[in-house]
Each structure stands twice: as C-alpha cells, then as structure tokens.
Chains A and B, each alone.
Chain A
Amino acid sequence: MLELLLHIILSAASAIGFSLITNAPHRAAGIIGITGSLSWTAFWVLKTYAHVNILLANMIGALIIGLLAYHLSRKFKLPENIIYIPCLVNLVPGGNAYRTILYMVQNRFIASLEQAITTFLIAAFLAVGLFSAQYLISVVRGIIYFRKSKI
C-alpha cells in the first residue's frame, strides 16, 4: 500500500518536473500531474499485480493518456500536446535503452540486440496506444454525428 502511494507521488512529481523543463503554462501543472500519475499507476498495477504483458500494459497506459488528454484539453482550452508530452516521460523505456548501451560496452552483442528490440517495441506500442485513443474518439464522434444526421 505504501509502495502504491510512493508510485503515485513520484509519477506525478516527475510529470510536473518535465512540464517545468519544457516550459508548459502554469495553469496546466495540476492537470499534467493527475494524468501522469493515473497513467503510470495503471501501467504499474497491470504489470505487477495482473501480470499483463509489458507491451500491452504500456499500450493501455498510453491509451489512458490519450483519452484524458482529449477530454481535459477540451475542458480547459489547452492544446493537446501540452498534456501528453510531459505525461509520456514516465513510460519511456529508459532502462532498456541504457542496458542496450551497457551490454554493447561489455561486448555482449546478442544481449544488447535483445534490449534494443525491446526498446523499439515498447516505443512502438506507446505510439499504438496514443493513436488508438485518437481513433476511438473519432469513431465515437462519427457514430454520434451519423445518428444525429439520420434523425
């Protein structure tokens, strides 16, 4: 339980920290913190307790970011990318990228290649999650529009 609390606090802090680096507007800080911590906590709970495949967990984390960014950016009149750029920093596969370089230095090329492929796959699935959020939204909007125009 304490660990879960630590996860929530640290992920919010790191999302807000990245928003400070990229000079995001002041009024967006709270929104960014909530979105970042929700997406990371969902990813971590899925990975640790539900034992979901790490690629699928990453995809769901990115999906949550995409949906929340769409909703909150419309609500608070912010551009969408202000919300999802700082939130995605938690999910970036930094550990795998580091291990790629580390094994390369230690002349363990096969292990290095494995880590490189994992890094690429995780990044690709993050993109898939973001895009499927966009796609879901456009499908829902299309259905609503279609129904209204028929009646």
Chain B
Amino acid sequence: MRKMSYQRVSEVCLETGYLLINGGAESYRIEDTISRIGYSLGHRVNCYVTVTAVFIEVDGETSKFIKSNLGGTNLQMIDDINTMSRKLASHVMTPKEFAHEIDKIYRDKHTTDFPFYLKAFGAGLVSMAPMLISTMPVHYFIYCFIVGLIGYAISYYLSKISPLPYVDLFISGFTIALLGIILKDIHLVNNYHNIIIGAVMPLVPGVAITNAFRELVMRHALSGAVKILDAVLVATSIGFGIATALIIF
C-alpha cells in the first residue's frame, strides 16, 4: 500500500476536524478521531482542537490550521464520519476512497437531512414535555404541540434568512409567549405558563450545555467555557423574548 503524501493527509484530517466541529462533537473526541485516522493512514498526527479552530501537525513535517464557526448540530454527520473511520481502521475502505468521501461531504457541507415537516413534527413532540403531566389537563398537550411547532418553525426560517445569531431565538420566544397569552384571552386555556414552558423546550440549548459540561470535566477548559457562555446567551435571549411579551401584554 502506497503512503499518502503529508499534504494530502493533513488536508483530509483538517476537513474531518472541521466537519466534526460543525456536527457538534466534543473536542476531546475530535482529537481522538483525528489521531486514529492519521494512524490508519500511516502517519503520526498531532492535533489540537479548540471550539473555533483545528491545528494539525503531520510527522513533524507540515502544520496547518483551519477556522470554523460555533453552533449547529448534525448528529448524522458525526455518525457518518465515525462509521467511515471505523471502516478505514479495519481495512474495509481504502485510504483513497476515504479521502474522496470526506472531500465530497466537505464540499456539499451537509449529509442526509430530515425534511422540514418531519423536524417540525419532532419539535411538536418535544413540546409535549412529560414534566407537565400532573400540572394540567391532558387535552392541553394539543395546544403545546401546536405552539411549539410554530415557535420552532419561526426560529428555523429566521436562522436561514439572516446570519445574525440569537435574534431568531428572541423573536421565536416572543411569539411563543404571545400565542400563549392569546390562547388564554380567547378562553381556550385558563393558565398559559405551562403552555409556554412546554413550547420553549425544542429551543433550549441542551446540546451545548451537555457538551460543555463534559468538556469541562475532561479538562478542555477553553472550549468548555466558550460553549457554556454560548449556551447562557442562547437561554437568555429566549428568556428575554418571553419577558418582553409578558411585559407588553
């Protein structure tokens, strides 16, 4: 088997790191995956991953780095790359095929994705949070489903239209609270607090908080701190959206 050149290996590893960061993996796991890929390609790869950049050194010969952005979750991408690196390690996949596949995903910037209506349906299911069961009648869950679906759809479309972060969450929090208050005003429900709690659940930064805690515990303090700050900002912008609606109406 012919070895790949340093340049090619460093490119492939950088692209893998970039894709894994965008998929929302933890940084210690990315470092582990990259050094495994380098080992199965026949090189010793040193790498350092922070939350917005990947640094790579191959055999002490070349060193490169790539910039990335915070945010975005795509678990399918993590699973794809994981499966591919496992195939590479067990020699089911040749290095050339592996590099080709990574290039393809990197160019298109996405993998197989669920259609929007399915995601919105999922958001509706999340809104029927089980923590609310004993606090309200069962038929209120239908309102939770509808309001949560609308809130998620608004944040989804706004984040596609404008690149500015946090504002879409503010607006969808505002809309959810507004819908809850309207439901109370037309006497469909007699208490809007539970509807709002349920409908906000799909927007909660659960991924960011879990990853941040796991990274802090594994002593990757830099990326853990950045992710916690991001999660707090997301939660605050949703909360202030709700607060604005409650103050006005």
Q: Is the CB of A92 within 8 A of B206?
A: yes
27 residue pairs A–B, Cβ–Cβ below 8 Å: A6-B133, A7-B133, A14-B128, A14-B130, A17-B122, A18-B122, A19-B122, A20-B119, A21-B123, A21-B126, A23-B73, A23-B76, A23-B119, A24-B75, A44-B130, A79-B78, A81-B25, A81-B29, A82-B78, A89-B126, A95-B132, A98-B193, A101-B243, A105-B246, A123-B213, A127-B210, A131-B214
Q: In the docked arrangement, what's the CA distance between A19 and B75, Å?
A: 9
| Chain B residues in 8 Å Cβ range of A85 | 73, 75, 206-207, 210
By size class, the interface of chain A is 35 or more
Asked if B209 is an interface residue, CB under 8 A from chain A, the answer is yes
Q: In the docked arrangement, what's the CA distance between A77 and B84, Å?
A: 12
Q: Is the CB of B73 within 8 A of A17?
A: no
Q: Give the interface of B toward A (CB within 8 A).
A: 24-26, 29, 73-76, 78-79, 82-83, 86, 113-114, 118-119, 121-126, 128-134, 138, 141, 152, 193, 196-197, 200-202, 204, 206-207, 209-211, 213-214, 217, 235, 239-240, 242-243, 246-247
Q: Is the CB of B130 within 8 A of A100?
A: no
Q: Determine how close the nearest CB of chain A comes to the CB of B195; give it in whole angstroms.
A: 11
Asked if A31 is an interface residue, CB under 8 A from chain B, the answer is no
Q: In the docked arrangement, what's the CA distance between A79 and B75, Å?
A: 9
Closest to B205 in A: A92
Q: Is the CB of A78 within 8 A of B128?
A: no
List 8 tightest A-B contacts by C-beta distance, closest first: A20-B122, A17-B125, A127-B213, A17-B122, A17-B126, A101-B239, A24-B75, A10-B130
Q: Is the CB of B75 within 8 A of A22?
A: yes
- Residues 67 to 82 of chain A near chain B (Cβ within 8 Å): 77-79, 81-82
Q: Give the interface of A toward B (CB within 8 A).
A: 3, 6-7, 10-11, 13-14, 16-25, 28, 40, 44, 77-79, 81-82, 84-85, 88-90, 92, 94-95, 97-98, 100-102, 104-105, 123, 126-127, 130-131
